[in-house]
Structure 1
Amino acid sequence: MLNACIRTVVVTGIILALAGCATTVPVEQPDLPAADQWNAPPMESAQAPDQQWWQAFGSEQLNGLIEQAFAGSPDLAATAERVFQAEQQVRVAGSSLFPSLNLNASTGERATDDGGSESRSESTSANLNVSYELDLWGRLAASRDESEAGYRATVFEYDSARLSLASSVATTWFRLMALEEQLRVARENLAIAERTEDIVDARYRNGAASRAELLRQQTEVLNQRASLEPVALEYRQTRSALAVLVGVSPLDFEADAGTQSLMDLTLPAVDAGLPSDLLTRRPDLASAEAQLQAADANLARARAAWLPSVSLGLNAGASTANLASLANPVETLGWTITLAQSLFDGGERDAQTAISESRRRALVEDYRGAILSALQETDDALDRLQTSERREALQQTVSERAGRTLELTDLRYRAGSDELLTLLDAQRTLFQTREQLVQLRLTRLQATVDLYRAVGGGWSQTKEDE
């Protein structure tokens, strides 16, 4: 007994000494840009976005559509299931850090016939086995850490998918409202052209206008009617795309902005913050960082695979020569310490370690690239937003003057002071300026959504996420 205890102490000492050889790999972070501000100048009266940033546009219909998308989107639901799977994987990996307990019980009867001599035997046994692998090198803990980091990455991916879905619904809704506005403007333009046709027809019947002038105006009316068809088609297709985004069938989906027009929407001023803020305000960057942490743990696990595994075992059992009874049993009790080390594997562990190191280096570069892309997206969105704001202000003035020009030209044509071509030119100019004004408002709204998405949409990484 004394010799056995001495042997146990020696083996344990050797194991603990080998544990001191395990090394910890420092976490390598990519080089981050150190810019203090964006290229675009800061916006006046700008406010930082909150998690329900879409409410800043002042559209109840948009608020309802985004909530409907969160509840009904198949893609978002599938992402949520992947989060659940990753959470369960953490439980699986964490279970290896605890002992396993197994109970086996059996009872039976056996009959043999040896040359006419028949014998019968009965037996009953029960065994309890406890096994536990000592995590001296941190391999099992690294596996758990890898699963936890993977779980955090999927949570951040879900947040990123949620932000992307809200952005897509908002831009599609704004596009639908812009098409409604285009249809309204086109119908107003058609009404103006038809009224002008009536005037030209009256002048023609009175001999004040030529047949060619009447045909020109009739052609203009037909062109205006034809221009309605592609806009109406795009409107129907955009409405179907919006239905798919919110998770309903496009066959019976209705989306109506009611009395609110595109020009009535609020245009919020978004504070983009500092470039360094993006690292904590964008879920996709948090996901990339979590993936890098998972790669760190994977590399630690691959390196720990080079070291021997140590397991403890405990077995207790009882058996009798009775059927379904443990009366007067024969009891057994034993324990084991198992030391296992692979001596030759044909280079498998070396290759696995090299793969883990390469994957980690690739993730470092992916993380760095994601940061650079985030900086570009934010700065570009700021630039587009400010440029579209200035262009819309100028276009508003142009549209107002084009409308006044058409009024004066119409009066002069009625009085016989201007030709029809001058009136037609004034009409086309007004039509174009109105359409351009709608497009610029749409561009400005879309740029605002892009900026919300670029800065994370009010998302922030909390301590619970870290």
Structure 2
Amino acid sequence: MSSRIHDVTKALLMLSSLLWLAGCATTTPVERPRVTEQVDWNAPVAVADQAIPPDPEWWQQFDSPVLDDLIRRAFAGSPDLAATAERVFQAEQQVRVAGSSLSPSLGLGASTGQRTTDSQQSDSSSATLNVSYEVDLWGSLAATRDEAEASYQATVFDYDSARLTLASSVATTWFQLLALEEQLQVAQENLRIAERTEEIVDARYRNGAASRAELLRQQTEVLNQRASLVPIQLEYRQTRAALAVLVGESPLGFEVAVAPDSLLAMTLPAIDAGVPSDLLARRPDLAREEARLRAADANVEQARTAFLPTVSLGLGAGASSSNLLSLADPVETANWTLSLAQTLFDGGRREAEQAISESQRVELVEGYRGAILTALQETDDALDRVQTTRHRESLQQTVRDRAERTLELTELRYREGSDDLLTLLDAQQTLFQTRDQLVSLRLQRLLATVDLYKALGGGWQAPEVPVADDQ
């Protein structure tokens, strides 16, 4: 009889080994994407002497105390960032759950009661202590723990990505608010110029040197300038409300002092972008994708070990007595078990699960590759926009200065009767447009700088991620 049991056990182990080898044979290695070290950015990069790599608190390079305060408040009060932090905590606890399966489990039970049958009554009390342990012969439980650890690391990197995105969103919204403040000032100055010109036309009209049509045309221009203030004021209020939500505060009654910041006087830091091959280690979103890929590797390992038998050990000890609420004169018992379980047929479920896990890993590899390509594009585009907007802004400042001088001379000539009103109106419109374009270009340059900081990872460095204690 014992020899027959031995033969059956041996056959089961041989079948399990064959299934395991079959599972391993279907696994194909997947090559992770890399960036060639020899390539450089497409954008023309002019590295200034004072250019420095991004700092973890990169927003301080703009020398804006108000921006520093807004980002500090956002880190403390953003609901989205707080929710992401809770996901990190949940993933950490999941590591503890997965790690606990590698340790024995201990159970204690006790019972007491009476039993009455016909005219007989019996009392009983008992206490038991059980220990169970699954032997991780094939590394299945360890793979489960590894998957949880990698997923936890991915959530940590996801939090870092959310923090970087939040800081860049606050900076972008703040610069947009400054631009709207500047546009309001420009529009108000344009209105004063139009009103001053109206006074000139009105004086010429009263002296018979200008027609009624000229006066009406200039009055129309004044009305247009007044009307242009309304949409800017509306957008200003909406942008201020958006900024309040970003910092985690109610937009109702939210106020922020623009002074002493000024859009055109804002410091524009010079950034050393480094080389493209360094980007993989500088962005938390890429580190997150790498961690997800490690979790997928562990998941594939779990699917492989599903073909192998599970081995469990059990120990038990107990005491029972025929007394109620008492273990006096107990009957003591002890037992142990060694169990082997192997699924022989499941309709192809495990093969399908392994195929799914391997396909998911390939999917993540492709997603990781796509994230790298997107990161390279974002960085190169930001570098290009920083250089382009800086050159355009320099040219636009010259255009603005000349437009101001042209308007001064045209006003003088109109007073003297040397130019007509249409020439004066054209000079006004040119100045108004160049001022708006200058504000727009400065905003674009600031936003491109923020985008470059974000694309470079904002000075992020992979931290030593602590792993929850398995015990």
TM over 0.5: yes
Shift of 1:27: 6.5
Shift of 1:26: 8.4
Contact residue 88 and residue 155 of structure 2 kept, 8 A: yes
Letter in 1 for 2:425: L
Contact residue 143 and residue 301 of structure 2 kept, 8 A: yes
User: 2:224 and 2:253 mapped to 1: Cα distance?
Assistant: 32
Partner of 2:175: 174
Shift of 1:134: 0.4
Secondary structure at the counterpart of residue 137 of structure 1: coil
Judge which range, 410-419 or 121-130, deviates more. 410-419
Partner of 1:50: 55
Secondary structure at the counterpart of residue 262 of structure 1: coil
Aligned mate of 2:42, from 36, 39, 43? 39
Shift of 1:71: 1.1
Partner of 2:264: 263
Shift of 1:279: 0.8
Shift of 1:418: 1.3
Judge which range, 444-453 or 341-350, deviates more. 341-350
Letter in 2 for 1:404: R
Matched, 1:102 2:103: no
Letter in 1 for 2:286: L
User: 2:29 and 2:272 mapped to 1: Cα distance?
Assistant: 32
User: 1:462 and 1:120 mapped to 2: Cα distance?
Assistant: 68
Secondary structure at the counterpart of residue 53 of structure 2: coil
Partner of 1:186: 187
1:14-93 superposed matches below 5 A: 28-34=30-36, 35-42=38-45, 43-45=47-49, 46-93=51-98
Q: Deviations over 1:6-49 (max 9, x none)?
A: x8xx98xx79x969969697863423231432112332232101
User: 1:298 and 1:50 mapped to 2: Cα distance?
Assistant: 36
Letter in 2 for 1:233: L
Q: Deviations over 1:129-174 (max 9, x none)?
A: 0000000000000000000000000110110011111111111110
Shift of 1:256: 2.3
Query: How many positions carry a matched residue from both structures?
Result: 455
User: 1:51 and 1:180 mapped to 2: Cα distance?
Assistant: 29
Matched, 1:393 2:389: no
User: 1:29 and 1:188 mapped to 2: Cα distance?
Assistant: 61
Q: Compute the TM-score of the two structures, normalised by the length of structure 1.
A: 0.94
Partner of 2:404: 403
Secondary structure at the counterpart of residue 109 of structure 1: strand
Q: Deviations over 1:281-338 (max 9, x none)?
A: 1000000000000000000001101100000010111111111111111111111100
User: 1:225 and 1:465 mapped to 2: Cα distance?
Assistant: 60
User: 2:339 and 2:410 mapped to 1: Cα distance?
Assistant: 100
Contact residue 27 and residue 296 of structure 1 kept, 8 A: no
Q: Deviations over 1:162-192 (max 9, x none)?
A: 1111111111110010000000000001001
Partner of 1:457: 458
Contact residue 149 and residue 294 of structure 1 kept, 8 A: yes
Letter in 2 for 1:52: E
Partner of 2:433: 432
User: 2:104 and 2:365 mapped to 1: Cα distance?
Assistant: 36
User: 2:31 and 2:173 mapped to 1: Cα distance?
Assistant: 38
Letter in 1 for 2:225: Q
1:137-286 superposed matches below 5 A: 137-286=138-287
Letter in 2 for 1:37: D
User: 2:171 and 2:199 mapped to 1: Cα distance?
Assistant: 42
- For structure 1, which runs of at least 5 residues remain unmatched after alignment? none
Query: What is the Cα-based RMSD across aligned positions, in Å?
Result: 2.2
Judge which range, 430-439 or 210-219, deviates more. 210-219
User: 1:365 and 1:51 mapped to 2: Cα distance?
Assistant: 29
**Structure ranking higher on relative contact order (CA contacts 8 Å, 6+ apart):** 2
Partner of 2:130: 129
User: 2:425 and 2:281 mapped to 1: Cα distance?
Assistant: 56
Shift of 1:464: 3.7
Contact residue 156 and residue 286 of structure 1 kept, 8 A: yes
User: 1:96 and 1:140 mapped to 2: Cα distance?
Assistant: 7
Contact residue 395 and residue 433 of structure 1 kept, 8 A: yes
Contact residue 303 and residue 353 of structure 1 kept, 8 A: yes
Q: Compute the TM-score of the two structures, normalised by the length of structure 2.
A: 0.93
User: 1:27 and 1:240 mapped to 2: Cα distance?
Assistant: 51
Q: Deviations over 1:334-370 (max 9, x none)?
A: 1110000011111111111111011001000000000
Letter in 2 for 1:202: A
